[in-house]
């Protein structure tokens, strides 16, 4: 009488996966999706089938987690919201941020800044503009807004900058050279 392991018994009981199902499982694993979530998203596939397939491919649960963290960072840095990332992986937004901070020392604030810079760089490239062109245009707009009566604080708020940054830039742009006058004209009233 032969004794079978529980793993061997579960393999015998579960139906075989189709090539398409295996492809979908691999796609989910390559994005760090959990076995149960992959099984839920593929009709007719059970959690244990995904688990056994992952094991047969030599992929550990820890590797899937590492891939998940990499994917989360990539998605967040590309500009995707934390809420959307968390809904895709069926976790709370706080879990995404806390896990990435603990596991990867990842700052969402910094990622948002990098993402915004990447988006801006894409727009500049598409429009054929340099960084200096954009700065010059922005400064021209600031000067026009200030001349039209808009406060420096309001301009800074529009651009999410400190008022001192806007104020100093406008001062540099609008300072006119001092005209040289003779001594006789010094007190010309």
Number of other CB atoms surrounding residue 157 within 10 Å: 12
Q: Tell me the pLDDT band of 150, cut-offs 50, 70 and 90.
A: confident
Return the pLDDT at 112. 77
Structure tokens at 77: 């840095």
90 backbone φψ class: left, alpha, beta (φ>0; ψ -120 to 50): left
H or E segment and range at residue 148: none
Q: Which residue has the tokens 């001192």?
A: 164
91: its two tokens: 């976790």
Residue 104 has pLDDT above 60, yes or no: yes
First-to-last C-alpha distance (Å) of the chain: 119
What is the C-alpha to C-alpha distance for residues 60 and 51, in angstroms, rounded to an integer?
10
The Cα 117–Cα 121 span in angstroms is 6
Q: Is the distance from CB of 130 to CB of 119 less than 8 angstroms?
A: no
pLDDT value of position 83 = 94
Angstrom distances, CA of residue 145 to CA of 23, 71, 116, 166, 167: 56, 42, 24, 11, 12
In this predicted structure, what is the pLDDT of residue 4?
Answer: 58
Highest mean pLDDT, choosing among 79-93, 146-160, 166-180: 79-93
Q: What is the pLDDT of residue 10?
A: 55
Residues 10-56 have pLDDT tens digits of: 555 667 899 999 999 999 999 999 999 999 999 999 999 999 999 99
CA dist 69 and 88 (Å) reads: 13
Whether the predicted pLDDT of 6 surpasses 70? no
At residue 7, does pLDDT exceed 90? no
The average pLDDT across 153-163 equals: 88
3-state secondary structure of 52: helix
Compute the distance between CA of residue 129 and CA of residue 20 in angstroms, rounded to an integer: 45
pTM above 0.95, yes or no: no
Tell me the mean pLDDT in the region 101-127: 81
Q: Is the pLDDT of residue 176 over 50?
A: no
pLDDT of residue 114 exceeding 80, the answer is no
């Amino acid at each position: 009488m032969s004794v079978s392991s529980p793993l061997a018994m579960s393999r015998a009981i579960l139906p075989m996966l189709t090539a398409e199902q295996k492809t979908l499982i691999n796609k989910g694993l390559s994005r760090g999706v959990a076995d149960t979530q992959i099984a839920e998203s593929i009709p007719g596939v059970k959690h244990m089938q995904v688990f056994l397939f992952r094991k047969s491919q030599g992929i550990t649960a820890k590797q899937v987690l590492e891939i998940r963290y990499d994917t989360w960072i990539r998605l967040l840095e590309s500009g995707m919201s934390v809420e959307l990332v968390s809904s895709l992986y069926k976790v709370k937004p706080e879990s995404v941020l806390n896990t990435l901070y603990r596991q990867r020392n990842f700052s969402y604030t910094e990622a948002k800044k990098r993402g915004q810079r990447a988006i801006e760089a894409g727009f500049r490239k598409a429009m054929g503009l340099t960084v200096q062109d954009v700065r010059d245009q922005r400064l021209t707009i600031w000067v026009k807004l200030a001349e039209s009566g808009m406060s420096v604080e309001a301009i800074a708020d529009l651009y999410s900058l400190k008022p001192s940054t806007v104020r100093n830039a406008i001062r540099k742009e609008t300072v006119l050279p001092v005209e040289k006058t003779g001594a006789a004209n010094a007190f010309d009233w």
